[in-house]
Amino acid sequence: MNDQLLENVSVPGFKACALFCGIKKQNKDLTVITCEKGAVAAAVFTTNLSKAAPVIVSQENLKQPLVHAVIINSGNANACNGERGLSDAKRTAVKAGELLGVSPSSVLVSSTGIIGVPLPVEKIEAGLEKAMPLLKADGLAEAAQGIMTTDTFRKLAAQSVTLPESGVTVQIVGFSKGSGMIHPNMATMLGFTLTDASIEKDVFQKLQQESTDITFNMISVDGDTSTNDMSLALSSCEAGNPALQPGTKDYEAFREAFIDVQKTLAKLIAKDGEGATKLIQVKINGARTEKDARLLARSVTTSSLVKAAIFGRDANWGRVLCAMGYSGGMFNPDVVDLYFESEFGSIQLMEKGAGLIFDEEKALKILESSTIDIVAQLGEGTASAEAWGCDLTYEYVKINGEYRS
């Protein structure tokens, strides 16, 4: 869906808003999402051992049966701040709980931005007071804007799906942020997916984990897994459908749309990698197992040499095979067919493990595109996987060299 058409998207049961509270020098930096009746929640968090305070607090609060609010600040990660960081994250939840008249344990908190700088929690508390009258049903596009840091555009996606058995139409809206420190294992990646479909917490958690594994866990910008990664799904359960259960047609229809929303967000994050000029889509087909396919695909997206070659429009296919070789995924290099593709055409660079003489001018033209597909046909099985990354540019170094300036 065109980004402009998403301006007024909403999900029954939720309200949201975003505003400037003074954490950043300018631009919106505080986002509030509420569900008055309480939402069923599922989440996947960073595997980084240096977990930020909001991750620790939200993991604990997620044990509650329902979530009434999510408070997100950008510009400060509240990471590596010791006991003060935990206290500030809890203060945020307490303040939101007081203003909404709900338990602080039903409030989740999320932060993104600079690591190791104390959170100006007083500004957040004051901002929350200003935010409450601004909450609105069509505030999700605004919320997507408010969570940005070095992102160059908001990342927002939506699906409306009619469940085939119950006939109920449900809404799914997701938004995320991420541009650098992107290499999730659940980057600085935050993702929020809202729906009104009725679903039980354990079923929702399994779906969220499954979807994360094949969407957000398949992107990389720079190989750095953030301290703050969080992918959160919330359901207001207001659609009125019978609770979704695996194995039913309703569940499969919802699952497909839910994963599609998160996949769209994942690709937008990779496309907006800091300094990026090209989205790289790595497609591994014919692998022995899905695990092998995923390892191979992710390894190619994280290779600095592959990323630099794509930036320079150099069809250096040997770097792709090298990255596959050290991935830990099993494959036979002697039977691989390899292609580079874009809207400008397709070119085969390798056949049955051997390099081909190819048209350099055609390859150069293909690599002019802003979206490049690297396709490997392994011919060893039926498993496949896709991963997304971006090119490595001079601008990436400039952005991260001056990040705290």
Q: Active-site positions?
A: 188
**Which of 158, 258, 241 shows the shortest CA–CA distance to 205?**
258
**Which of 73, 389, 399 shows the shortest CA–CA distance to 228?**
73
Please report how many Cα atoms fall inside a 13 Å half-sphere around the Cα of residue 399, on the Cβ side.
18
CA distance 270 to 256: 21
Find the largest Cα–Cα distance for the chain: 69
Q: Are 74 and 147 in contact (CB under 8 A)?
A: yes
For 261, other C-beta atoms within 10 Å of its C-beta total 26
CA distance 139 to 319: 45
Residue 233 φ/ψ region, left for φ over 0, alpha for ψ in the -120 to 50 degree band, beta for the rest: beta
Q: Alpha-carbon Rg of the chain, whole angstroms?
A: 22
Helix ranges (DSSP H) in 30-139: 53-61, 82-100, 121-131
